[in-house]
Chain A
Amino acid sequence: DQQVKQNSPSLSVQEGRISILNCDYTNSMFDYFLWYKKYPAEGPTFLISISSIKDKNEDGRFTVFLNKSAKHLSLHIVPSQPGDSAVYFCAALETLTNAGKSTFGDGTTLTVKP
Chain B
Amino acid sequence: NAGVTQTPKFRILKIGQSMTLQCTQDMNHNYMYWYRQDPGMGLKLIYYSVGAGITDKGEVPNGYNVSRSTTEDFPLRLELAAPSQTSVYFCASSTGTSGGNTGELFFGEGSRLTVL
Contacts and interface: CB of A to CB of B under 8 A. Distances in A.
B74 interface: no
Contacts, number: 78
Contacts of A4: 42
B42 A36 contact: no
B90 A44 contact: yes
A95 interface: yes
Interface stretch (A12-20, A63-71, A78-86, A101-109): A101-109
Given A99-B31, A106-B42, A43 B110 contact: yes
A49 B42 contact: no
Interface residues on B, range: 20 to 34
A104 B43 contact: yes
Given A34-B104, A100-B31, A100-B96, A43 B48 contact: no
B40 interface: yes
A25 interface: no
A42 B58 CA distance: 23
Interface in B22-50: 31, 33, 35, 40-45, 48, 50
B97 A93 contact: yes
Interface in B64-116: 90, 92, 94-98, 101-110
B96 A34 contact: no
B96 A98 contact: yes
Contacts of B102: 32, 34, 49
Given A99-B50, A100-B94, A101-B48, A32 B43 contact: no
Given A42-B109, A44-B90, A95 B104 contact: no
B4 interface: yes
Nearest to B45: A101
Contact of A100 (B35, B90, B97, B107): B97
B22 to A, nearest CB: 15
Per CB-CB distance, the 5 closest pairs between chain A and chain B, nearest first, are: A43-B107, A104-B42, A95-B97, A100-B103, A106-B42
Interface of B: 4, 31, 33, 35, 40-45, 48, 50, 56, 58, 90, 92, 94-98, 101-110
